[in-house]
Structure 1
């Protein structure tokens, strides 16, 4: 028996207080965005069904869902269960992500995606080179080093000291973004959100790839979570992962005043370990690693500069 119905949205009634009207206006904007998303989702489901010559009745039989559910789904009405949507996608033989995030502006995307899944590493590298403007190899020829790692790894401290020792320029990416936009990182997040900040981050990084002369760049810990930005970093910079034990990360962040000295330490450590575990495979894509655990800053600095000197064939000045 076909099953499935969509839940209906309800909005709280009653008069809004003066202080609540602004919040209600923001919530109305969010609801409008969600309604737009549901309408687009319904349109993609309807298109996928009709292009395959399926009636709602046949799709109902194939998916085990009611015709009413399918009609509501295609009409962009109510909340959508991801599990039931998956059943609709499977019944039509389409990918779930195409229904959710389909982009009509790139009609060849399904073909490109399928070709990429069969491509070898050289073909993928060539495709990335073309799509990025064909200047990836040129960008990576300069003596540029990027330090990556979780907050508290020592990127800013060691990066500045290593640049001074080598006579290179030191740049902190967050500071560069703040300088270019005349806003603090906190203000950028408040005004533009995380997506807006990431756009500014990538733009600043691209400009730095064109900056002449050797430099050392300290990045944010989360830069690895943005695929295009991180790929640009890996191609244009010699990346070095500054590693440390979770306990060291936590102690350094507390010493820097970015975390309270009291509170639920066990919960904070658990969260830090989870973030580090999720990012480790991404950090591991770096060209080199330097362990900064349980050693003095002077030893950390020696390890980092030795790694850079070896990579670029620099002679240590005595």
Structure 2
């Protein structure tokens, strides 16, 4: 009778396979938990007790095999006396200096944060307070949601000032060689943001004077928006949600209303979410407050006075 040989797995091979299967994010998360626990001088048992989780659960988390819920992570962060952002690896908690800066800025009001941002810009040579004191840039950027009047008003303003008119959406399409909808469908949002950043950088480099109409969502990308705030005189063209919707439809785009009873609520939500960023512009002009001609005259007066040009 022949014997059956059952192979015994090499424990080092099994361990290597298990390590290879670990999710890199969970592994990094576990390393941060261990590091923070060591920094606080706390045992695993003490952290588990303070976080109200089992020691086994915390051990799995530290070894990168525990996919904890957000509430458990919050409890662990509180036990370690650190922000949840530090636990999950936010860049503003990635070094001692970042953490010290973050602590200084926490709970400051918007006005103070703006002064700090401008002071940092001056320190780093990217504009900021010193650039503002030198006067407004003759590079005028119009921001706001689609349908605010950026193209209509911007093109006319450029003609009257004798400036080039730059529509960033068209520049983005030139770089990509396809439409914006195709960029997002084929390559995704991250690729679109890269093309958008390139369009902003080139507009600033090429045109010392210009009127620039920006895509409505540009303010969602902090790096591109910082460039505009630093190198351009910015004007938020604000409109009522109803006017935004009517103007987009008048342009021949029926998609906002197509089989979507929630379209207006969605639009209001987008406006509410971006308002804090739009409000960082140097000037605000309500394009719903008066007829088109009167709105344009108000914009022309606002810009020429800001630039010190004859009206």
2:188 is paired with a residue whose SS is helix
Query: Shift of the alpha carbon at 1:150?
Result: 0.9
Query: Shift of the alpha carbon at 1:276?
Result: 1.1
Preserved contact between residue 89 and residue 96 of structure 1 (Cα < 8 Å): yes
Distance 1:153 1:34 in 2: 49
Match of 1:187 in 2: 182
Match of 2:120 in 1: 127
Q: Residues 55, 67 of structure 1: CA spacing in aligned structure 2 closer, same or farther, 3 A cutoff?
A: same
Match of 1:42 in 2: 30
2:75 is paired with a residue whose SS is helix
Match of 1:67 in 2: 55
Greater Cα offset, 285-294 or 111-120: 111-120
Q: Residues 113, 146 of structure 1: CA spacing in aligned structure 2 closer, same or farther, 3 A cutoff?
A: same
Query: Shift of the alpha carbon at 1:248?
Result: 0.7
The one of 286, 290, 302 equivalent to 2:285 is 290
Match of 1:234 in 2: 229
Query: Shift of the alpha carbon at 1:218?
Result: 0.6
Q: Residues 120, 191 of structure 1: CA spacing in aligned structure 2 closer, same or farther, 3 A cutoff?
A: closer
Deviations 1:134-159 (A, max 9, x none): 45556975301111111111111211
Greater Cα offset, 275-284 or 111-120: 111-120
Higher relative contact order (CA 8 A, sep 6+): 1
Match of 1:114 in 2: 103
Distance 1:312 1:286 in 2: 15
TM-score by length of 1: 0.79
Preserved contact between residue 116 and residue 124 of structure 1 (Cα < 8 Å): no
Preserved contact between residue 137 and residue 307 of structure 2 (Cα < 8 Å): no
1:241 is paired with a residue whose SS is strand
Query: Shift of the alpha carbon at 1:266?
Result: 3.9
Residue 144 in structure 1 maps to residue 139 in structure 2? yes
Q: Residues 54, 294 of structure 1: CA spacing in aligned structure 2 closer, same or farther, 3 A cutoff?
A: closer
Gaps of 5+ in 1: 1-31
The one of 262, 267, 278 equivalent to 1:267 is 262
Greater Cα offset, 155-164 or 135-144: 135-144
Deviations 1:45-69 (A, max 9, x none): 1211123222221111111100121
Deviations 1:268-311 (A, max 9, x none): 01111111122222222221122211644323222221211121
Q: Residues 188, 101 of structure 1: CA spacing in aligned structure 2 closer, same or farther, 3 A cutoff?
A: farther
Match of 1:81 in 2: 69
Deviations 1:65-115 (A, max 9, x none): 001211221222253211110110110111110111244875532123224
Q: Residues 141, 280 of structure 1: CA spacing in aligned structure 2 closer, same or farther, 3 A cutoff?
A: closer
Match of 1:257 in 2: 252
Greater Cα offset, 237-246 or 107-116: 107-116
Supply the RMSD in Å over aligned alpha carbons: 2.8
Distance 1:261 1:198 in 2: 22
TM-score by length of 2: 0.81
Distance 1:311 1:145 in 2: 10
Greater Cα offset, 169-178 or 204-213: 204-213
Match of 1:222 in 2: 217
1:239 is paired with a residue whose SS is strand
Deviations 1:163-199 (A, max 9, x none): 1122111001121222233343233323442233223
Specify the structure having the higher radius of gyration (Cα): 2
Distance 1:237 1:189 in 2: 27
1:302 is paired with a residue whose SS is helix
Q: Residues 259, 49 of structure 1: CA spacing in aligned structure 2 closer, same or farther, 3 A cutoff?
A: farther
Greater Cα offset, 251-260 or 237-246: 251-260
Gaps of 5+ in 2: 1-19
Match of 1:169 in 2: 164
Preserved contact between residue 147 and residue 241 of structure 1 (Cα < 8 Å): yes
